[in-house]
Amino acid sequence: MKDEKIRLYDKTFKPYIRHERILDAIDGVARELNADFNGCQDIPVILCVLNGSIPFTGELLQRIDFPCQVISIKMSSYQGTTSTGTVLNVMGLTDSVKGRRVIICEDIVDTGNTIVALKEMLLDKEGAAEVKICTLLLKPDVYDKPVKLDYVGMEIPNAFIVGFGLDYNELGRNIRDIYVIDDKMKYYILFGPPGAGKGTQAGAIAQKYNLKHISTGELLRAEIAAGTELGKQAKSLIDAGSLVPDSVVEGMIENAFDTVKNVDGFLLDGFPRNLTQAADLDKILAKRGEEVTAVVGLMIDDEMIYQRIRGRAVIEGRADDANDEIIANRIRTYHSQTEPLIDYYKKAGKYWEVDVDGGTIEENRARVLAKMDTIA
> Any idea which residues carry the catalytic annotation?
198, 273, 312, 318, 330
Q: Give CA angle at 193 (190, 195), nearest 5°.
A: 95
Give the count of beta carbons closer than 10 Å to the beta carbon of residue 254. 17
Give the count of beta carbons closer than 10 Å to the beta carbon of residue 310. 15
Answer whether 163's CB lies under 8 Å from 175's CB. Answer: yes
Reference 67, options 98, 104, 99, 101; nearest CA is 101
Query: How many whole angstroms separate alpha carbon 107 and alpha carbon 332?
Result: 60
Hey, is 223 helix, strand or coil?
helix
Query: How many whole angstroms separate alpha carbon 353 and alpha carbon 360?
Result: 18
Dihedral (Cα; 151, 62, 51, 165), 10-degree rounding: 80
Cis before 51? omega within 30: yes
**How many angstroms separate the first and last alpha carbons of the chain?**
17
Q: Which amino acid is present at 172?
A: G
Answer whether 44's CB lies under 8 Å from 101's CB. Answer: yes
Q: Which amino acid is present at 300?
A: I
Contacts of 183 (CB under 8 A, 6+ apart): 264
